[in-house]
Every structure is written in C-alpha cells, then in structure tokens.
Structure 1
Amino acid sequence: MQRGIEFLGSEHAILCGAMSWVSERNLVSAISNAGGFGVIACGAMTPELLDAEIAATKALTSRPFGVNLITMHPGLFDLIAICARHQIGHVVLAGGIPPKGSIEALKEAGAKTICIPPTLALAKKYLRSGADALVIEGMEAGGHIGPVSTSVLAQEILPELSGDHLVFVAGGIGRGDMIASYLEMGASGVQLGTRFACATESIAHPDFKKAFFRANARDAVASVQVDPRLPVIPVRALKNKGTEEFTAKQVEVAKLLDEGKVDMGEAQLQIEHFWAGALRRAVIGGDVENGSLMAGQSVGMVTSEEPVAQIIAALMEECEAALARR
C-alpha cells in the first residue's frame, strides 16, 4: 500500500467511494480521522453548498480528504474553483470523460486528479491527459455501474499499468482478504463504499441501514433497460417496490411511444424523472420502499452498525493476516 499511502497522505490507502447524501462531512471526517481517505460526494451540489460542506469537513478533521466531482455537472469549473480556494489536495472526476481543461485547471490549483476508467483504452487516455491516479470500479459496486466485473478489470488493467502508475481497485470489496489479493496484483490501494454506508458516523436513516443489514448479495440488482429507445444507465441498488415500478414505468412509456401519444423527448423525460429525488428519499427520509437503496453486492457483509475506526481496523487485520498466510 505504500505508494497509495504516499499519494493520499493517509495512514491506509483505503478511499471511501463517494455516495451522494451519505459521503458528507460526518462520514468523510470520520474516515480520514480513522486513517482512511474520506471523499465528499459533491453530486448535484451548487458551488455554495460544496463550499459550506468542505468548510464543515475541515472543522471536523485536520487530515487529508478529497472531493468527488461529476464531470457532467453544468457548473464543473465553478466547483473546481471552490476546491482550489480550499486547497483540496485530491479531486476525483467521475461520471464520464473529463471535459477539456478540467484536469489542467485542477493541476493549476495544485490538486492531484483521480479518474475512473471503464476500459484499459480509456485508462491510458486519462493518464495521457494528466490524471495522477486511477480507480478501476467493477459492476459489483453500488450506484452507477459499468458492464465489466472488478476481477476482470483488475486482470486487464493492473498488469498493464500498475508498474508505473497508481491504480486503486473498487467494486464488491467487503473484506481485507480481497484487499490483499488486489495489492498482490499491483494495486496501490482500494476504494469501498457499501462497507461504510451504515457506519455509526453515517447520517443515513436508521431504516436505510436496516435494509442493508437484512440484504444479501442477490438483493443488490442492476436496473433493467426495457426498450433500447429509452436508454437507462445501469444503477445497482437493493430491489424494492420502486425498482419494480420503474420496470413497469418503462413498459408503460414504451407503449405510449408506440401509440404515438408521446414523442421521444417526452418519453425520455418521463423515464429520467422517475428516480428524481429517490436517493435522498431513501437515505435521509428513510423511504425504503419507494426510494433508491443504492448498494453494492458486498452488502451481505454489512450486518451491523459499526464505528468507522472499527471497520478500517478489521479490514487491515484481515488484509495483513491474508498476506501473512501466504
């Protein structure tokens, strides 16, 4: 882990994946204080909200933490300016190819840039564009996912790039034994989200946490696309009434499209609007039936509420024990 530790400035090269509404000041500061590397999920925040969140996090920890920015955010460069003003040392650019000038703007501000490539070709492109590190995330992860598993991505990318570059592995990691395996393959560290979502310090609603404790790996399913005319970005979440209704909604809208009752623009809008605010409803409001319970397949390993420090200590102990056995 040494290269990852030196890069992040943390005690352990364990990043917390950015989870909207969950990865905020309390969880982020707790992870950094426990020796990991917390990352604020900016999501759809305005520059003013991000400014306040960074300031509040700084008040809770003196240790390094990062910020995750969505590349398609209309105010991306304003958000980068906020990160620069706060002298944020690490910024994760997620959700697509970073727009022209974004990596350069972060470098100018003195920040290290982390990108999330879904393929080896894009990994190489991001590095050529100036990315300082990569996170390769497989389809086992929670939230928005790609089509390839973590183990396959790791086999494709780590042997090719980890010798000369910093590569962190994410998706489906719930135990230290698995961390050990990826470190042996050349990873500089790992990223976990689901494992931290129900930590004692997480502000997620008690009912949201209980849904995680009850769930197993098979309950964390990827959203289904019913009609190719109505593209759906796959999201992995716990199945509930909302996920069933979303499938029914797609069938209903496709039928309206066939009958000429709505045009393509309106049809796509109806699909997009279905989940509007659903993540907040689940995480903050505790609506576990209709909200979006984004979770990775490692959810079955989340069985109780534990302090972040305990989670990180257990992961490191398991990792060290696995390496010692070998």
Structure 2
Amino acid sequence: MSDTAQAQVAAAARLERLWARGRALLGTRYAILGGAMSWVSERHLVSAISNAGGFGVIACGAMTPDLLEREIAATQALTTQPFGVNLITMHPQLDALVDVCLAAGVGHIVFAGGLPPGAAMRRAKDGGAKVIAFAPALVLAKRLVRTGVDGLVIEGSEAGGHIGPVSLTVLAQEILPHISEVPVFVAGGLGRGDAVAGMLEMGASGAQLGTLFAAASESIAHENFKRAFLRASARDALPSVQLDERFPVIPVRGLVNAGTRRFLAHQAETLQRFQSGELTRDAAQLEIEQFWAGALRRAVIDGDVENGSVMAGQSVGMVSDVLPVATIVSTLVEQAIAALARRGEGAGTDQRSEHSAA
C-alpha cells in the first residue's frame, strides 16, 4: 500500500474515533445532522439525509399534533434509518407533540427555541427518547447537562434563520473544552468537511448543516429558492436589522432582497406612527412582528425570492450546484478524511474526544 493510501486509511480511522460518540448517540454511520428548517426539513429531505448515513430532523415548527403524526409516518415510509423531530419549546401543544413522537417510536427529540421545560424533557426521556437541546452559552450548556440532556448543539451566528449573537468559532472555544459529559454537535456556517474535521479535533462529536441540504435535489424548496442560493455569496446572507431598541427584532439571517429592504422602511414607518400617537407600543410591536408572517413559505414553496424570506447561512457562498443529498454527505466525509490525512496522526497525541469515545 502506498504512503498516500496508508494516510487515507489512517485518517478514515481517526475520523471514526473523533465522531464515535456522536454516531453512537444518533445511531448513524456519520455524525452529520440535518438542520431543522421550516418548510424544507420534511419527509423527502429528512429521509434522504438519513438514507445517506446522516441524521435527518423533521422541523415541526407550528405543526399541530395531527400534522406531525402524519409527517412522521410519511418519513418512516421512506427510510428505516434513525431520524429526529425538532420541537419548538414555546409551542402551545408541546406536551402533545412529545407524545406524538413517542407513540410513533421516534428515538430522538431536539428541543429548540429556548430551554426545554422540565416537564416536556422528563416526558420525552421517560418515554425512551434521547433528548438534544441547543446551548447558546457555556452556563446554559452546563445547566442542560445537569437536567439530563443526552446531547447538545452549539450554533453560531453564521447559521441561517433565527440566530444568536455569537459566532461558532467563539462558541466552540467557550464550550467544547468544558463539556465532556455528553456529545456536542457544532453548527453555523459549515460548508466543507475539512471545517467539520477541525471542529471534531477541538472536541466536537459531530456537526449540523442546513444550508447545503436546503439546496439539495431532494429538497422540496422551489427552484427559484435554490437558484438564489447558487447566485449568492456569503456576504449576501445578512441578519435582519433592528431600527429601535424599544421594538426588538429577533435576528434572522437570510439573503438580502426587496423584502428585507421593505422591512427597514416598514420599521421606520411604524416607529413614526408610534411617535405620532397613532399606534400604541404593543400595536407597533405587533405591526413589526407581523411583517414577515408567511414570508418563509412564500420563498420556499411559492418561489417568491424577492418578497419572501430566503433564510440562508453564510455557507450559502459554498453552494455551487444542486446535488443529491448522498453526494453532499459523501463529499463532506471525503473532505474531512483528506484534511485529517494532510495533518497526519497528530504526532501521536490523543484528542480529548478520542479518549471520551473509548
């Protein structure tokens, strides 16, 4: 065997060790999760990711329990591999949604949008599901570990959709060295396997990606939506802007278009109406919040990428073609192995995550 081939074999074995804990938790060939994207992460994309060796995640969003039950069943008809369901913690029927997941035999529930209520988390774990939650800071990561989560996701502000204020590179340095009790998955701006490999070497147990998968051939997103991704650079994916601190705007990263420009004008007009006494503070806040109602569906399903919300992470600049999910996953793995091969076996030193995986 040539030196190059030996290096590839050694690097592949190292990758297996680095994300062994993530794979064990998910029950998958690769510790690659699909980000839960409303209107996009449904049966077709979720099953394709799981069938490719990754871990698909249904975006429940505002679904009712009946709708979620049907979506889970439809996904199970397309894959026998593990997949999860992402539940928003503020959903008014959260307990009922947890029960739907448990009744359908879903093995993993991902809580997003805030700290999961203790009752919902106990309900999920008592029902036999593994619980994964998002940790935007070290103090919250430690708190979630104490409450019994089985895994964490740390998502940087480079991600698409609703984002926090801190980049993944900072979160990784803040959290990865101090959380060893459970696997930690990194997310936000990831578009290449060598970047994933670097995070694994820092102590991550896997990675979550959304933007690359949103433009996959199995994604039901409108062709206009996918073409917008192909045209975009990282600089085109910007967070929404808040004009006045009295009227908070939850930051959402997406491609700048006519809709985002109108949102700025809408905020300015609403602020003027508030200052003139035409609107109360609550009414003005509601006017601002309702601007984007239905905007994501308009972009994803209807293809109105000028007026809709084209949520995308900064990795959108690395989307160069509409590819099958299996190709995306295999490319990520190949890139990770190639990067590890270039770095060799780490001069014989073991990484923390390798010790943890043993």
After superposition, give the CA deviation of every residue in 1:1-58 in whole Å (9 maximum; x if it has no partner).
Answer: 1111111001100000000000000000000000000000000001010000000000
Counterpart of 2:356 in structure 1 is none
Q: In 2, Cα distance between the equivalents of 1:244 and 1:259?
A: 23
- Quick check: 1:141–1:297 contact (8 Å CA) kept in 2? yes
After superposition, give the CA deviation of every residue in 1:204-238 in whole Å (9 maximum; x if it has no partner).
Answer: 00000000000000000000000111111000000
After superposition, give the CA deviation of every residue in 1:261-316 in whole Å (9 maximum; x if it has no partner).
Answer: 10011111111110000000000000000000000000010011000000000000
Counterpart of 1:186 in structure 2 is 203
After superposition, give the CA deviation of every residue in 1:96-138 in whole Å (9 maximum; x if it has no partner).
Answer: 1112311101001100100101110011111111111100000
Q: In 2, Cα distance between the equivalents of 1:303 and 1:153?
A: 28
Aligned positions of 1:90-105 closer than 5 A: 90-105=108-123
Counterpart of 2:64 in structure 1 is 46
* 1:68 counterpart letter in structure 2: N
SS at match of 1:97: coil
Counterpart of 1:289 in structure 2 is 306
- Quick check: 1:87–1:109 contact (8 Å CA) kept in 2? no
Q: In 2, Cα distance between the equivalents of 1:190 and 1:130?
A: 21
- Quick check: 2:89–2:116 contact (8 Å CA) kept in 1? yes
Runs of 4+ residues deviating >2 angstroms: none
SS at match of 2:77: helix
Q: In 2, Cα distance between the equivalents of 1:3 and 1:122?
A: 21
Counterpart of 2:182 in structure 1 is 165
Counterpart of 2:246 in structure 1 is 229
Counterpart of 2:354 in structure 1 is none
Counterpart of 1:260 in structure 2 is 277
After superposition, give the CA deviation of every residue in 1:159-188 in whole Å (9 maximum; x if it has no partner).
Answer: 011x33210000000000101100101111
Q: In 2, Cα distance between the equivalents of 1:115 and 1:7?
A: 13
SS at match of 2:227: helix
Counterpart of 2:170 in structure 1 is 152
Counterpart of 1:250 in structure 2 is 267
Counterpart of 1:89 in structure 2 is 107
Deviation at 1:59, TM superposition (A): 0.2
Match of 1:120 among 116, 138, 141: 138
Q: In 1, Cα distance between the equivalents of 2:181 and 2:244?
A: 43
* 2:155 counterpart letter in structure 1: E
How many residues end up aligned between the 2 structures? 325
* 1:143 counterpart letter in structure 2: G
Q: TM-score, normalised by structure 1?
A: 0.99
Counterpart of 2:148 in structure 1 is 130
- Quick check: 2:145–2:181 contact (8 Å CA) kept in 1? no
Q: In 1, Cα distance between the equivalents of 2:59 and 2:228?
A: 22
- Quick check: 1:28–1:65 contact (8 Å CA) kept in 2? yes
Match of 2:321 among 284, 304, 325: 304
- Quick check: 1:222–1:234 contact (8 Å CA) kept in 2? yes
- Supply the RMSD in Å over aligned alpha carbons: 0.6
- Quick check: 1:195–1:299 contact (8 Å CA) kept in 2? yes
Q: In 2, Cα distance between the equivalents of 1:14 and 1:219?
A: 26
* 1:321 counterpart letter in structure 2: A
SS at match of 2:323: coil
Q: In 1, Cα distance between the equivalents of 2:166 and 2:59?
A: 23
Counterpart of 2:352 in structure 1 is none
Q: Unpaired segments of 5 or more residues in structure 1?
A: none
Match of 1:139 among 121, 143, 157: 157
Q: TM-score, normalised by structure 2?
A: 0.90
